[in-house]
Structure 1
Amino acid sequence: MSAEPQALFSVRALTTADLPEVLAIERAAYDYPWSEGVFRDCMRVGYRCLAAVDMAGNVLGYGLLSVTVDEAHVLNVCVGPLYRRRGVATLLLEHMARLARGERAATILLEVRPSNTGALALYRRLGFERVGVRKRYYPAAHGREDALLLARPL
């Protein structure tokens, strides 16, 4: 793709009207997807809920961010299967980092499955480093899977 992602995609606030597209992406991406209620609760409590959209307004991906005192936490970031490896996740994560910096957060952190090698490579490329492990954090086919806790200074 020759054009810069910023020229093809933009980030805006997620709305309840976006939820059908978000849920379709979520269900395509995860064996244990979030429910519509979880997304609605995140919007209701004021988390930064973002949509990456194309020029026609189609939701390509989304990100949810919580900012408290001096720390930001990426709760979820996901891109639809057809739009992966095109800069959408990077655009979302960098937008979340700018929001967090604007709210005086010093660090941004997230959890990731050790088995999600694509996401791990992206996060490392963006400067995230492993700072811990959350034991048995994620549901898995045969029990639970640990989460790697990654952080990046802002």
Structure 2
Amino acid sequence: MKKRIFMYLFVFAVLLIIFQYVNAKHIFEDLNKQNQGFRAQVEKYKDSVVGLHHKLQDYSGFSLEQNEDAITYFESDGFEVVELMPYIKDKLYETNNVKGEHPIVPYTSSAGRQMRINNVKFLNHKWLIANFSDGEFWGEVLVKYFVNTDKSVDFELSEAFLYPVN
């Protein structure tokens, strides 16, 4: 009787071990399938990141931050570019506060509104591009800017256009 109990316990233990082995094997295979799916997604996202990085490099071709010659131009005059760019933007945005017609935007606004410069992008050490709007009409301007030795900034309109209203 004692031998049979040990034999039943042994068979039960073997069956339990086999059950756990098969169950663990199924779980392991499912996790491997999920892992392979995640690896495929990671590869896809890596490719997307690389593509976006190349696009970013293409778009930043005309950018003061990427133009070593333009940075050297300002540094030779004793200016720090990372401090100068926000300063020039602030000076340009200050032109929005001028009463009457905007000093840079050559178009008049409608219905008592005022044209305002919204966004600015520095192309190099002499030019910037900005968009403007009065809430109904909008367009873009290409502006020459000059930083004087006393750190004053002069703006000169080069080109401007107004998008047609639909």
- TM-score for the superposition, normalised by structure 2: 0.25
Structure 1 or 2, whichever has the larger Rg, is 2
Q: Which has the higher strand share?
A: 1
Relative contact order (C-alpha < 8 Å, sep 6+): which is higher?
1
- TM-score for the superposition, normalised by structure 1: 0.27
